[in-house]
Amino acid sequence: MISTYLFVYGTLMNNTASAMARYLQQNSDFVGEGTFPGRLYDLGSYPGAVYEAQAATQVFGHILRLHDPEKPFKILDLYEGITNAQADQNEYWRTVIPVNFNNQPLDCWVYLYNFATDKLPEISGGNYLHYLNFIKIC
């Protein structure tokens, strides 16, 4: 499936100080905020999301329209650790899922966490930026 949209939910969002987020800002247009059904986990210095079509919980993020998807995906795949030909050995995998944007589904690329989550802390509310702000005041 081909899409020019990318959904980001962690260190790649516009409101972060990440160099990769700035790179994305130069190579995309901010479309708006969106959600998808699933769970968000704290992996230490960044989050990981799992898509669950029937989940009652949502993952919050930003939708970007990539100017030229092939160019940033080469860089983003490396950033997200997609380096092994055997997909099950990579921490993330990139796929297209329906993201809720203005109460309509929009097919977006997203990097989803690829490993077991049973021992990871879940980020309540599915919003990484809110979670970071909460941690700062604690």
Domain boundaries, the chain: 5-137
Query: Which position has the higher pLDDT, 1 or 12?
Result: 12
At the fourth CATH level, which superfamily is domain 5-137?
Gamma-glutamyl cyclotransferase-like (3.10.490.10)
Q: 70-94, pLDDT tens digit by residue?
A: 899 999 999 998 987 777 889 999 9
Q: What sign does the CA torsion over 14, 34, 123, 88 have?
A: negative
Bridge-based pairing of strands 28-42 and 104-113 is unpaired
And the tokens for 31?
């479309």
Res 138: pLDDT: 43
- pTM surpassing 0.95? no
Q: 115-135, pLDDT tens digit by residue?
A: 999 999 999 999 999 998 765
The C-alpha R_g of the chain, in whole angstroms, comes to 14
Average pLDDT, stretch 20-39? 96
